Structure 1
Amino acid sequence: MNETNDLKSRLVIGMKRDGRREYDEGALKELVEQCLKPGVSIARMAIEHDVNPNQLRKWVAKYQQRQQERSPMAVDGVSIDMPSVRSRAIDRPQPAFVPVVATPPPISPPPSPPTMNLALQVRLANGVELELGGAIATLDELTTLVQILGRLPCSGSTTP
């Protein structure tokens, strides 16, 4: 809370004739950086520092735009230095046509392994009887089904 009051007191450095405030650049940058932290509400920060929320949002957007222009682009942790759009347009004219490169058709995935036909007849200790023809496709499905049935409570006719 102390930091908030300190920043609030440093933020406004004067008033113009028309009633608009003049802001300290350092304090303004600090406020914008606080707004960019995860979970911080720009509107709440604006209200706490006696700033119009719309104005603070514009400052945040302008700050992000400047940061994006200054810093190289990073993809998967690898830094890529990209020239800005304006500098590319000035450096060289863009061609009217884009070359088309034909790619080979995608390779089809290998065929899936053949499925097994499993037949099963089970009588569990809890009295559950199960007979399956070819309804189960994989051994994992069969194992799961047997485990589920083994957890079922005994029926009234099979209890001692």
Structure 2
Amino acid sequence: MALDILNGSGPLRVVKVLANGKRRFDPVEKDRLITAAMKPGVSVARLALAHGVNANQLRNWVKLRRDQQAQGALTVVAERETSAFVPVVAASPIARQSDMPARPSSAGMRLTASLPNGVRLELEDADEQAVSVMIEALGRYNVPAG
């Protein structure tokens, strides 16, 4: 027998009564009742009364369903999320070509960072202080992926 959930066709079918008086309901009908109770504008108390269930019990079932859905959504987001860390490539001195003018004796360094959102940052001919400032600045920002 299919329940007409919103019109209150009768109490939920009880499949088992425990020794302490607690009832176990048909899972399919219970699932439909919870789904109906989650619809906007539906009175949970009226729905519970029409189906022979305590209103607080139905509210608890709805809360559990919402928590499960939220947990499922968080799991999906966590699986898709990329690392917030920026990959850092070890810097190496730049080889000077003979036609380039000579600079002071400090060897320049190159820093290249590819961010998860597709932005590519390059810092060339930088001293150690500039590279460390750049790495520190990159570490402060959470760049969204994608």
TM class by smaller structure:
0.3 to 0.5
Q: Given the two structures, how large is their TM-score scaled by the length of structure 1?
A: 0.42
Q: Given the two structures, how large is their TM-score scaled by the length of structure 2?
A: 0.46
